[in-house]
Structure 1
Amino acid sequence: MSFSIGQNFRLTVYGQSHAAAIGVIIDGLPAGINFPHQAIQSALERRRPGKQTWTSRRSESDLFEIKSGIVAGKTCGAPICLEIVNHDKRSKDYAQHDHLPRPSHADYPAYVKYQGHHDIRGGGHFSGRMTAPIVMAGSLANNLLIEEGIHINSHIYAISDIKDQTIDPVQPDLDSLAQVKEKNFPVLNDDQGLAMQAAILAAKEEKDSVGGQVETVVTGLPVGLGQPLYDSCEAKLAHAMFGIPAIRGIEFGTGFAASLMRGSQHNDPYYLDTDQTIKTSTNHHGGVIGGLTTGMPLIMRVAIKPTSSIGQSQQTVNLDQSCHQELTIQGRHDPCIVPRVVPVIESMTAICLLDLLIMAGKFPV
């Protein structure tokens, strides 16, 4: 199914932006695993809309309910079903889009594919609202990875042309990265964060939007994780990331900049650490070579487009009358979705890595 992902740690999301509820069904975990209720709720709070001036005014509490699979705080072996009820819906804001497709939204291709039967309200199942179920499943996966000494941390790498503080790709400051999770605006350098917020609010004042990038760092991974050719570590992560709305690109390590380097510059020399562990003195490869993890920090950056729903008048086509028409989008939309995508990317990363660990027999499931 196109709404399912994972081979061993498997999940299926369900619902639409303005449906009665959204949720996720998780399969593949044995009985007796502690259920991290608070960790999941905390991650949902990081993603939740309506909290800051740079987020949508849609106000959802995103308090989740356990529908099945958990007994007395532990997994019972049955599929786990977690659900969030949608409360703050304004479906009337989307009435015109059944015949006036919004530029850079899925409205038009969905209209053709589903012959007009798709759910246009809030973007239906194409909406970023559908990332909340991913956060629930990913937080559960992340909790299991932490128990194995694997840590996933992300921060805003850039918004528009404003960049956050760079990290050391060989020895990242894990304490600083971990502190980002506690911030309302997830950056390492708060001054740069203020500049980013100013850029977001300036775009909002002009009824426009901005995009950016999120950088993720994973430490504690074993050597050799991944299944080349097509279940390689990068392939699994890239496939999953493009299931997040608004993602437009992904790179590992030095990424596209590697194409401008010589091999003598890009190659990472090996050496023996004091404990005889083999490491590399640089990390241009970003922790993955040949689709396999190397034991170095996994470094990944994801590009997020500017929010498609903007307040400026735009050109579209009236599907009912087959003519050009001006469109002004109504409703509540983020002038920049980058800050809210950070926990989503962490969650999707956790889902993929847990699945790979189970696949490799390196996780006790």
Structure 2
Amino acid sequence: MNGNRFGRLFQVTTYGESHGPGMGVVVSGVPAGLDLSAADVQHELDRRKPGQSTMTTSRDEPDAVTIESGLQDGVTTGTPIGMTIQNRDAQSEKYEPFVTAPRPSHGDFTYSAKFGTRNWGGGGRSSARETANWVAAGAIATKVLASQGIEIAAHVNQIDDIRAPPVDFEQIEAHTDDNEVRCAHPETAERMRERVEEYQREGDSIGGSVYFEARGVPRGLGAPRFESVEARLGQGMMAIPASTAFEFGLGREAREYTGSERNDEWGFDDAGDPTPVENDHGGVQGGITTGEPIYGEVTLHAPTSIPKEQETVDWETGEPKTVQVTGRHDPVLPPRAVPVVESVLALTLVDFMLLSGRINPDRLDGQVGEYDTDYHPENPRRNE
């Protein structure tokens, strides 16, 4: 099975299944010299983990991460960083009715058709639980970007037909985690919560979208065509389970703009360099970053595992079958998808930073080949 690696220089390789012993990720390409601890990674995993509120599945997983390699005295060594997350609360018996009867709109049938077999417990590898690995890797990427002055934030900007008004970056940073919906606009968040509860009472689910933004991104990242920033970013965002649309800049609204309306006017920044004024392009022109904020949104469909009775077929008997998914599932996905979207954005941008040479691939600071005796003075063995 291919398709388990993301990135060119900053490479993320994941493994694990929803009801297996655990999940894991190997991150290659992290420069030496980054202060990193399990607590840094755990903070982001806690934002994604299940059981946080009525907006999430009740599956009780601590998602406690263990860093197995790539650190010495709390600092990255430049070698691959391996991380594991154990599964503690799998209940595979709830999925036995679907061994030969695919759940509607899941990967059950397609996995079986392709491989001739599948792990039916919780959906196995097709489960969105696998994104815990992405968030663990994204926590490292976010720290690397922060060392370069690049900030990332996201929030839920729509659930059903309830859409939040535009909010600024600082508000997203400060208030996204203030409510269980993860919408940075409190009044809209309350309306969204009430709407989700309506669907829950009906045994149904609902979709929504996540807005993302990155600031401090230098101009000149990316390349034309298939290595464009929006192409690579779109690949990552569309790999998120349940994603059905990726937009950047004006996105689909661009179809309603004339050329004269969409074309950015130009001015000069504080350094005297030309810069687009409106930034309707979302920080990217010709596939290459302009230095302005990168922004867009990802749409996620309603969760397909719902308590309502649905119709499927049993491929052993050849007969129709009425099924009811009784496992523990989210009624809406965007609240827990916020850290996933942020992680994909961070992983994409840090890879471009390495490819452009703006980050030394070997040492986060210093020159290749130079040994700095004061590199980590807190290490007592260094002074023996």
TM-score (ref. length: structure 2): 0.91
The residue aligned with 2:22 is: 21
The residue aligned with 1:318 is: 314
Q: Which runs of 5+ in 1 are unaligned?
A: 168-172
The residue aligned with 2:65 is: 64
Q: How many Å separate the matches in 2 of 1:225 and 1:43?
A: 26
Q: Which runs of 5+ in 2 are unaligned?
A: 362-384
Q: Does 1:361 pair with 2:361?
A: no
> Which of residues 180, 192, 196 in structure 1 aligns to 2:175?
180
Runs of 4+ deviating beyond 4 Å: none
Q: CA deviation at 1:327?
A: 1.3
Q: CA deviation at 1:125?
A: 0.6
Q: Does 1:277 pair with 2:273?
A: yes
Q: How many residues align?
A: 359
Does the 8 A contact of 1:165 with 1:188 survive in 2? no
Tell me which amino acid in the other structure corresponds to 2:289: T
Q: CA deviation at 1:364?
A: 2.1
Q: CA-to-partner distance for each residue in 1:88-129, whole Å, 9 max, x for gaps?
A: 1100011111111111111111111111x2111111111110
Matches within 5 A, 1:247-266: 247-266=243-262
Q: How many Å separate the matches in 2 of 1:36 and 1:299?
A: 29
Q: CA deviation at 1:2?
A: 1.0
Which moves more between the two structures, 349-358 or 319-328? 319-328
Q: CA deviation at 1:36?
A: 4.1
Tell me which amino acid in the other structure corresponds to 1:174: F
Q: Which secondary structure does the structure 1 equivalent of 2:25 belong to?
A: strand
Which moves more between the two structures, 37-46 or 129-138? 37-46
Q: CA deviation at 1:180?
A: 3.0
Tell me which amino acid in the other structure corresponds to 1:178: E
The residue aligned with 2:129 is: 129
The residue aligned with 2:142 is: 142
Matches within 5 A, 1:1-365: 1-115=2-116, 117-167=117-167, 173-185=168-180, 186-365=182-361
Which moves more between the two structures, 267-276 or 146-155? 267-276
Q: CA deviation at 1:274?
A: 4.5
Q: CA-to-partner distance for each residue in 1:31-55, whole Å, 9 max, x for gaps?
A: 3322143221111111111110111
Q: How many Å separate the matches in 2 of 1:272 and 1:79?
A: 42
Tell me which amino acid in the other structure corresponds to 1:139: A
When residues 54 and 323 of structure 1 are mapped into structure 2, their CA distance, relative to the original with a 3 A threshold, is: same
Tell me which amino acid in the other structure corresponds to 1:2: G
Q: Which secondary structure does the structure 2 equivalent of 1:22 belong to?
A: strand
Q: CA-to-partner distance for each residue in 1:202-223, whole Å, 9 max, x for gaps?
A: 1111000011010001111111
Tell me which amino acid in the other structure corresponds to 2:102: P
Q: How many Å separate the matches in 2 of 1:207 and 1:90?
A: 20
Q: How many Å separate the matches in 1 of 2:144 and 2:185?
A: 29
Q: CA deviation at 1:229?
A: 1.6
Tell me which amino acid in the other structure corresponds to 2:158: A
Does the 8 A contact of 1:18 with 1:121 survive in 2? yes
Q: How many Å separate the matches in 1 of 2:5 and 2:179?
A: 31
Which moves more between the two structures, 28-37 or 43-52? 28-37
Q: CA-to-partner distance for each residue in 1:272-326, whole Å, 9 max, x for gaps?
A: 2344232222121111111111111111110000000011111111111112111
The residue aligned with 1:170 is: none
Does the 8 A contact of 2:210 with 2:298 survive in 1? yes
Does the 8 A contact of 2:38 with 2:65 survive in 1? no
Larger Rg: 2
Q: Which secondary structure does the structure 1 equivalent of 2:157 belong to?
A: strand
Q: CA-to-partner distance for each residue in 1:119-151, whole Å, 9 max, x for gaps?
A: 111111111100001000001000110110111
Does the 8 A contact of 2:12 with 2:27 survive in 1? yes
Q: CA deviation at 1:62?
A: 0.8
Q: Which secondary structure does the structure 1 equivalent of 2:141 belong to?
A: helix
Which moves more between the two structures, 47-56 or 74-83? 74-83
Q: CA deviation at 1:244?
A: 1.2
Q: How many Å separate the matches in 2 of 1:363 and 1:181?
A: 29
When residues 77 and 363 of structure 1 are mapped into structure 2, their CA distance, relative to the original with a 3 A threshold, is: closer
Q: Which secondary structure does the structure 2 equivalent of 1:301 belong to?
A: strand
Which moves more between the two structures, 234-243 or 33-42? 33-42
Q: Which secondary structure does the structure 1 equivalent of 2:34 belong to?
A: coil
Q: How many Å separate the matches in 1 of 2:179 and 2:136?
A: 19
Root-mean-square deviation over aligned CA pairs: 1.2
Q: CA-to-partner distance for each residue in 1:141-180, whole Å, 9 max, x for gaps?
A: 001101101111101110111111313xxxxx33212113
